[in-house]
Amino acid sequence: MIEFSNVSKIYPHGQSSALENVSLKIAEGEMVFLTGHSGAGKSTVLRIISGMEKVTAGTVYFGGNNITRLSKSQLPYYRRLIGMIFQDHKLMMNKTVAENVALPLLIKNLTMEEAMMSVEHALQKVGLLSKINTYPLYLSAGEQQRVGIARAIVAKPKVLLADEPTGNLDYALSQEIMSLFLELNSDGMTVVMATHDLDLVASSHKRSIELQYGKVISDLVI
Ligand SMILES: Nc1ncnc2c1ncn2[C@@H]1O[C@H](COP(=O)(O)OP(=O)(O)OP(=O)(O)O)[C@@H](O)[C@H]1O
Ligand SMILES: [Mg+2]
């Protein structure tokens, strides 16, 4: 579903390559961790898959299509195939949980009324339907992150990209968020997650790709 073929990335003003000759394949329905030291290139891989960042060399395929040269007008349509989750959930504090989760659908020009069924379904999935009319400020850190996940899945993306989604959470909450990702994956969602948390990786028994200074140094199931 996702393929990197000899991908290199040098940022403008970057000191060295953020990625160097990275080749990898991720199949539909897979759950894959990206690990490695700070600065290894994990977020860069996710940003390239999401279309937020262009490659310097090499080719990236998504569902068989070369996404390396998407035009500005094609990009928003491509992005709809992707759900993104960040360490900082990036929720809008002045909007309700429902309005936050609805956002990807409102961008697709649905009305709030039309979006509501999908919003309820996504909140049900993350176990937060009862908080639908609450504001994020009144939610715990773990609940806020789950709202971020509901927003990422509401438009039924093909792949879920998560960048350190448990980075701000304690051990128990990280486990809880992790089991949610595993559940989404067992429902068929392709998930790619960057993480520093090797305990989470070890307890999940999923594929893990380790980066070091922009290169893949291991790719295995622990
Ligand atoms: N916008 C940017 N401009 C210049 N260099 C960048 C930019 N973003 C990242 N880099 C560099 O690219 C390399 C890879 O960064 P990246 O953010 O992908 O690492 P990471 O593995 O996600 O690290 P962390 O675990 O700290 O999040 C690093 O050397 C970083 O300094
Ligand atoms: Mg990062």
pLDDT in tens, 142-179: 999 999 999 999 999 999 999 999 988 888 889 989 99
Find the domain containing 182 and state its range.
2-221
Q: How many residues appear in the chain?
A: 222
- Which residues surround the ion ligand 2 when the cut-off is CB under 5 Å? 42-43
Taking alpha carbons only, the member of 110, 81, 115, 103 closest to residue 1 is: 81
Q: What tokens does 146 get?
A: 């789950």
Mean pLDDT lowest among 57-61, 70-74, 95-99, 214-218: 70-74
Atom of ligand 1 nearest to the CA of 36: 21
Half-sphere exposure at residue 109, Cβ-oriented, CA atoms within 13 angstroms: 2
Cβ-based neighbour number of residue 93 at 10 Å: 9
CATH assignment at residue 51: 3.40.50.300
- DSSP code string of 68-126: TT--TTTHHHHHTTEEEE-SS----TTS-HHHHHHHHHHHTT--HHHHHHHHHHHHHHT
What global pTM score does this model have? Answer: 0.94
pLDDT (tens digit per residue) in 11-57: 998 778 999 999 999 999 999 999 999 999 999 999 999 999 999 99
> What per-residue confidence (pLDDT) applies to 90?
87
The pLDDT of residue 33:
98
Q: What is the pLDDT of residues 105-145, one digit of tens each?
A: 999 899 999 999 999 999 999 999 999 999 999 999 899 99
- The set of residues, in sequence order, having a beta carbon less than 8 Å from that of 89 and lying 6+ positions away, is 136, 144, 145, 147, 148
Check residue 89 and give its pLDDT: 77
- Which atom of ligand 1 is the closest one to the Cα of 164? 27
Give the pLDDT of residue 211.
98
Ligand 1 pocket member 42 (CB < 6 A): yes
Of 206, 205, 170, 193, nearest in space to 35 by CA: 193
Distance, C-alpha 36 to centroid of its chain: 17
Query: Positive or negative CA dihedral for 162, 167, 171, 177?
Result: negative
- Is the confidence at residue 219, as pLDDT, over 90? yes
* Counted domains in the chain: 1
Say yes or no: CB of residue 44 within 6 Å of ligand 1.
yes
